[in-house]
Chain A
Amino acid sequence: MAERAFHETPVADGCYLAGGGALFLSAFLHWAASGPGSGLRGHALVDAVVALGRSVPVLSTGRLTILWYLVPALGTASWVGCGLSGAHSRASRIIAAGAFVVSVVVGAAFVHLLTWSRVGWGPVVAVTGAIALCLAAWWPRRHQRGASAAPGSGPSPGTP
């Protein structure tokens, strides 16, 4: 059944895979363009950025660190979901939605902590990847060749 979903929506699948790749890649890019934290990742990055004195309401250092690691993790999880059940499966959509929320929250936190002028490519690529995931997951079926509904995908928005 999964195989029927995969490759029957090549554009959506490709976009979904690229979005997941962007999320994964973001972990290896500079989240701070310059200054403290620009060469760091993970908890060291968050520690360095938070140590600058600004803070994000509700997001402690620990929470922000976990969310930061969730960004590439959701990217790789999206590959698993896409490979098993296709980009339009319920699982893939849940992952896409989760990736979008997490990326936007982490990206906004870094903008707040660093200010726009110091934000590197990391948050930008992460949010872009999450948007790509969402677009692919809810890609209108009328654009698909030989569309056959994937199990659990449900009706797509915009599908006549």
Chain B
Amino acid sequence: MSDLQDRLERLAQRGTPRGGDAVLEAAKTSVEHDAVAAIGMDPSRRQSPRRHFSSLVAAAGVAATLFVGMLAFSAFLGAGGGSDSPEGAVRQLADAVSHEDALAAADVLAPEEVQSLSRTIDQTARRAQELQLARTASAPLAGLDLSVDNLDLSTETMADGYVKVTVSSGTLSSQTQNEKFAPVMQRVLRNTTGPKGQVDLARLAKSLNLPTFVMTVKRGGQWYVSAAYTTLEYIREANQLPPADFGSGVRATATLGADTPDAAVTEAMQALQRSDWKTLISLAPPDEIPVYDYRDALMQLGADNQTHFTIDKLETTSTVSGDTAKVTLHTAGTTDSGRWALDGGCFKPPLQDRLVSTSAWCALTPYYTVLPFYGSSPASVASAQVTVVRKDGRWFVSPVGTALDLIDRYVRDFTQRQLYTMLNVPELLPVDATLTLGRPVTQDDRRGGAYVYALDAHRGDRFLGLVTWDPPAGDSYGGAAVLVYSPDGEVMRDSYDLIDGRGLEIPTDGTYRIVVRPYFQRITFTVWPEAQAPEAAKHPPTEGMYDGCHPTGNGGETCSSSASVGTSSSSSSSSSSSTSSSDAGTTGTCVTGSDGLTTCRDVTSSSSRSSSSSSSGSGGVTATTATSVPGG
């Protein structure tokens, strides 16, 4: 009891003394409060902002997930290229340039124009790595830094789906870092300093009094940069020609082209012969080369231009695969200058009959092919074909398809030997053999590649060499260029002494590299100790040919005035490749300068070729007869 008494007293002393009504009211309120709390109303009100935020986060997550899903879905379904806007396409292209990403650039170009360009770029990059031209195929342009900055664009709608994007301002900066290039490229660029350049993109077409612009086209809902429309629009504006009828070619596709692949090629050749530009335009794929859209402008431009050749033979063979056909063309005819012929990729221009044997002009002389000089395999060239594509049931000659096919062949055929020779770094090629003195070596490479021979020598040794050649048809180029590289890898200034009868003296002990570059002939090369050399080596066909001339480190040569005909003492220089010629009794060496002109020195005086003096470099006139020969 006392315990209960104590507890009641403690309870009576809590809080403020209240009456019975007050206690009951407080109890009632407390019960209501507890009841509300029990069904969870009050906590909800207190946590409302939290629930709102968490719901927002969840909703944003759902929306973003859907966005990613759509991105993936559209990427798998669509071409994956282009941009959402014309400006976006141009900025994407600029971004690709800034990142030296050729594939990304191809991705934003109109797909029907570039076709398999990505494959060609990819193949080229991999080949560059195989040939050690690039450190890695993934970064073939490493060492070259490009940057497009401050790009400001404006747009002008030319037609539905065709927008001209004008570059109001922007700069393209470039810089090379030689140390980032592959060793071969570093060697090639050894005499150049890393240039830093900047171009004002808004003034690229200043010479035409035109702003810089790019044409964009809408394809499949995406915008792409169109190289073809851009080029044609520049031609049109520069010549103030009638405006284009945008999209008319694509709309009229079913009424253009030819019935068969063979007919497309045949009609194109005949139209070219007749200078029938209208027919020629109608045979180009309207989506690939939109010349039909610009037909009024091009017809006006071509009105004063006529071709001057005839066709007396025209045969085609074709293979069709789906909507693409490959047509081999065999055709021949005449011009005012003589007969011409085209067999596959072997083109025989007029005026060349007296320079090369007519029996094997394609296989023996890569000069006369539709592919570039070096790297073209005769078999590959001979089988070159014209690509023809089918659109809306009609066949069109595809210039882009044909060009990419040729480039693919060229890249595939290119060898390290030809590439290094072309880049004037043949000394970097692996050694083909070690020379044994007095024992001849024979080379039968008719594609212009150089061969490298090692020669162990000691200081004071003197050597003489001799190049003989075996012209198969009697009127071909002959001989070879021979350079000697010292053990430190630099070309010897007295290299020519080895094969011009003077004799080469070795300055230091070591292994020397002798680079022999046949002039598209089967050649035989021999080196003797000077004392044991035959008379033929002491008085070779090249005797006196190199007087006053020395090779330079960049693959060219310098000639002193002692070898010049002129009144003043001076020197001349040229660079790049040199070739030798033998033509109807004439033998000589030709040096191709940076201007593309090939200067030839005659060894014998009885030249049957048309000759003229040629100024080379600054100052003197070389003491030679000279003529231009087709360059590679």
Contact = CB atoms under 8 A, between A and B. Distances in A.
B78 to A, nearest CB: 10
B41 to A, nearest CB: 14
Interface string B342-374: 000000000000000000000000000000000
B76 A43 contact: yes
A83 interface: yes
A76 B57 CA distance: 10
Interface stretch (A32-40, A98-106, A152-160): A32-40
Given A35-B142, A114-B138, A73 B101 contact: no
Contacts of A48: 103-104, 122
18 contacts: A4-B47, A7-B53, A24-B68, A34-B99, A35-B100, A35-B101, A37-B101, A38-B101, A39-B107, A44-B107, A48-B104, A49-B138, A52-B122, A53-B126, A69-B71, A76-B62, A78-B61, A82-B57
B138 A3 contact: no
Interface string B128-144: 01000000111111100
A146 B59 CA distance: 26
Nearest to B51: A3
Interface residues of A, number: 47
Contacts of A113: 138
A53 B124 CA distance: 12
Contacts of A51: 122
A17 B75 contact: no
B99 A30 contact: yes
B81 A44 contact: yes
Contacts, number: 151
B281 interface: no
Given A77-B65, A118-B138, A39 B58 contact: no
A79 B137 contact: no
Given A35-B142, A76-B65, A52 B137 contact: yes
B54 A42 contact: no
Contacts of A17: 57
Contacts of B105: 39
A128 B55 CA distance: 26
B403 interface: no
A83 B92 contact: no
Contacts of B65: 73, 76-77, 80
Interface of A: prevailing SS:
helix
Interface residues of B, number: 48
Contacts of B138: 32, 35-37, 49, 52, 113-115, 118
A40 B81 CA distance: 9
Classify the interface of chain B: helix, strand, loop or mixed. helix
6 closest A-B pairs by beta carbon, nearest first, are: A83-B58, A79-B61, A39-B104, A83-B57, A80-B61, A76-B64
Contacts of B67: 76
B126 A52 contact: yes
Interface string A46-73: 0011011100000000000000010011
A2 interface: yes
B238 interface: no
Nearest to A78: B61
B95 interface: yes
Contacts of B72: 42, 69, 73
Nearest to B49: A7
A2 B54 contact: yes
A27 B50 CA distance: 30
Interface in B51-110: 51, 53-62, 64-65, 67-69, 71-72, 75-76, 80-81, 92, 95-96, 99-105, 107-108
A42 B69 CA distance: 11
B101 A34 contact: yes
Contacts of B108: 39
A27 B64 CA distance: 12
Nearest to A28: B71
B125 interface: yes
A97 B589 CA distance: 73
A123 interface: no
Nearest to B73: A69
Given A35-B139, A52-B138, A76 B103 contact: no
Interface string B532-556: 0000000000000000000000000
A147 to B, nearest CB: 15
A108 interface: no
Contact of B57 (A4, A36, A79): A79
Contact of B61 (A36, A52, A83, A118): A83
B68 A36 contact: no
Contacts of B100: 34-35, 38
Given A38-B99, A41-B75, A44-B81, A84 B54 contact: yes
Contacts of A81: 61
Given A7-B50, A118-B138, A42 B71 contact: yes
Nearest to B145: A34
A82 B58 CA distance: 7
Contacts of B101: 32, 34-40
A77 B55 CA distance: 14
Contacts of B142: 34-35
A6 interface: yes
A113 B62 CA distance: 32
Contacts of B53: 6-7
A20 B62 CA distance: 12
Interface in B302-355: none
